[in-house]
Chains A and B, each alone.
Chain A
């Protein structure tokens, strides 16, 4: 049975109807649809941030849908990088410290963590802003820091929820170029967006309407 999520409000919201999809290593998948259609719900399922109401989610053939909160946490920490529309950076600590949060809960010593954080910042083209605080950065720079934070863990898949939603179109294009580069380097990317420009960049697309997902 396909993955589904119903929010137990009254009346219950069937935010995601049972659906079947497969994401392969190296994919660049866009999930599109109008606002409120269930895109974020889908992403939260794929990112193990939430538990499905029905159906299975297999990662490398392991069914993670029955995982406890703790096991999902461990799986997240190991396999998934997140990029959000709102960046969710801690404003009063440096870019490097923010990127280090991506490794904070893993068994990486502090020295390695710093090295990897600096490397991740370099990968997103922000070597020169390592010590800057997000409060002094532009929107594009902030989103790069957030991407670096997701990359520093060397995730199997990068999940982005409206990564360009808070950016002007020029900056958005730069971020998309960066995602392209990362995908070319072999990273699996899933982007949720309502923006057709973003969706066009993807190699494959899923459209959700009223909780019903289908390949385009």
Chain B
């Protein structure tokens, strides 16, 4: 005969879980309080992470499509002094040069011109109706496309440009000023003594809102009538989403490969980097808070399960006397605290989701809660419970049946 005459002790999984559940039920209110601690921890974690995700989504929304798809090029005022021979300027075919760049959807040049001319609805008037100078802009056909101007009537099509036609677009502000409500009757406007036919009214633009208070004439016309009168030239480029940074880097060389230093390119802040910065700050802060809450709940579980182990010394000894191995005892203690953590995790996830939704509603944001967060929450709770249960489990496993059963 040998030791094998004795069948091996074992503890089925289902029994392990049922025994642990029964033990937790027996602890009732205290177990619930411990789980509540975990719930608060996990809720803080879910809330902060969910809040971070929600806030991040708002941040990304703010970098709306238009901002991320525009590039402006101006002359660099410092280049003027350093280059003595030729004054920095945009090439005549600036629009065409920019349009050839990969990713450019529309591009055009504008500048202020006709500095001495006053806008009026009578020939030769030197006084504008309200005494302020209405800006007169020259624009290549692509400029209005790049601005995404909404025009009633016609835009400055290439024909007007190449034929230097005396036509003009007026911003909606000017149209109001001169009571021009329709272009059906081909209204005229006077720049100094020259009459221009109004072919369209700019109702709105996505970019370069200043055109709404300006008179815009074809670039070709401006070059013919007001040669050399080029103030504040600027290229407006509308680019494909994501292409802004690349085009910003290429625009200067494309405009004038020999004098790229003449130009200064204005690219909107890269949404990606900006977003990442915001993300990281929020994430770090909130992650830290959630982590602290979790650690605190871990300590709470560890504490309550240690107390429970000490109180249950007799029960543990009894189980040992009935064939439970040290590992069976340890597993039960870990399972109990894992269950506490898991229940806390589920409750915490629910509280967290509610909290994030409440915040989002209050801020009129769209709640964004990563589904992984919700599935992870119980897992995090269980993990917290397992870690918290390790020390109490070791202590429980060390209990000798003899000691435990001493009459008590």
Residues of A participating in the B interface, judged by any CB pair closer than 8 Å: 40, 44, 47, 49-50, 60-62, 67, 69-71, 73-79, 82, 84-86, 88, 90-93, 97, 101-102, 104-107, 110, 149, 153, 161-162, 165
Given contacts A49-B400, A67-B3, A88-B315, 16 further A-B contacts (CB under 8 A): A73-B9, A74-B8, A74-B323, A78-B6, A82-B405, A85-B407, A88-B317, A93-B22, A101-B318, A101-B319, A105-B9, A105-B319, A105-B322, A110-B15, A149-B322, A153-B323
B10 touches A82 (CB 8 A): no
| Size bracket of the B interface | 35 or more
Residue among A60, A88, A102, A107 with max Cβ neighbours from chain B (10 Å):
A88
Q: Quick one: which of B2, B5, B400, B407 contacts A86, CB cutoff 8 A?
A: B407
Question: Does A62 contact B11, Cβ atoms closer than 8 Å?
Answer: no
CB distance from B253 to the nearest CB of A (A): 79
Interface of B is mostly: helix
Nearest-neighbour CB distance to chain A for B17, whole angstroms, equals 12
- The residues of B that contact A67 with a CB separation of less than 8 Å are 3
Residues of A within 8 A of B5 (CB): 60, 62, 78
Task: Please determine whether A73 and B320 come into contact, CB atoms closer than 8 angstroms.
Answer: yes
**Cβ of B19 < 8 Å from any Cβ of A?**
yes
User: Which chain A residue shows the least CB distance to B22?
Assistant: A93
Stretch from B36-44, B117-125, B324-332, B364-372 forming part of the interface with A: B324-332
B314 in the interface, Cβ–Cβ < 8 Å?
yes
Q: How far is the CA of A88 from the CA of B15 in the complex (A)?
A: 20
A104→B408 contact, CB < 8 A: no
A104 proximity list for chain B (CB < 8 A)? 11, 15, 19, 319, 322-324
Given A62-B2, A74-B9, A106-B10, A82-B315 contact (CB < 8 Å): no
Among residues of B, the one whose C-beta sits closest to the C-beta of A40 is: B406
User: CA separation between A79 and B3, bound complex, in Å?
Assistant: 12
Assess whether B324 is in contact with A49, with CB atoms less than 8 Å apart: no
Residues of B within 8 A of A (CB): 1-3, 5-12, 14-15, 19, 22, 25-26, 314-315, 317-326, 328, 400-402, 405-408
- Contact check: which of B315, B321, B324 meets A47 at CB < 8 Å? B321
10 sample A-B contacts, Cβ–Cβ < 8 Å, listed by A number? A40-B406, A50-B401, A62-B1, A67-B3, A70-B325, A73-B324, A88-B408, A90-B315, A92-B25, A162-B407
Are A62 and B3 touching (Cβ within 8 A)? yes
Indicate if the CB atoms of B15 and A86 lie closer than 8 Å. Answer: no
Please tell me if the beta carbons of B7 and A74 are within 8 angstroms of each other in the complex.
yes
Contacts of B14 in A (CB 8 A): 110
Residues in A with CB closer than 8 Å to B322 are 76-77, 82, 101-102, 104-105, 149, 153
Query: When A and B form their complex, which 5 residue pairs have the shortest distance between CB atoms, in order from nearest?
Result: A77-B323, A92-B26, A105-B323, A88-B318, A74-B6
**Cβ of B356 to closest chain A Cβ, rounded Å:** 38
With contacts A49-B405, A67-B3 taken as known, whether A88 is within 8 angstroms of B10 at the C-beta atoms is no
Nearest residue, chain B, Cβ from A76? B323
B9: which A residues are within 8 A, CB to CB?
73-74, 77, 105-106
Rounded to whole Å, the gap between the CB of B308 and the closest CB of chain A is 12
Contact of A105 among B2, B6, B328, B400 (CB under 8 A): B328
**Contact between chains at A82 and B328 (CB < 8 Å):** no
- CB-CB under 8 A from B8, the residues of chain A are 74, 107
Question: How long is the Cα–Cα vector from A74 to B309 in the complex, in angstroms?
Answer: 23
**Bound CA–CA A119/B357 (angstroms):** 56
A70: B residues at CB distance < 8 A: 325
Cβ contacts under 8 Å, B401 to chain A: 49-50
Contacts of B7 in A (CB 8 A): 74, 77-78, 106-107
Which residues does chain A contribute within 8 Å of B405, judged by CB atoms?
49, 82, 84, 86, 88, 161
Contact B323 A97 (CB under 8 A): no
Nearest chain A CB to B69 CB, angstrom units: 67
Q: B408 contacts A86, CB within 8 Å?
A: yes
List residues of chain B with CB within 8 A of the CB of A107. 7-8, 10
How far in angstroms is the closest Cβ of chain A from B51? 40
Q: Which residues of B contact A82 (CB under 8 A)?
A: 318, 321-322, 405
Shortest Cβ distance from residue B23 to the other chain A in the assembled complex, whole angstroms? 8
Determine whether the beta carbon of B314 is less than 8 Å from that of A88.
yes
CB–CB B318/A61 < 8 A: no
A60 adjacent to B319 (CB under 8 Å) = no
B86 to chain A, nearest CB (A): 95
- With the chains together, A102 CA to B405 CA distance in Å? 15
- Evaluate contact between A86 and B314: CB separation under 8 angstroms: yes
B335 shortest CB reach to chain A, Å:
14
**Set of chain A residues within 8 Å of B26, measured between Cβ atoms:** 90-93
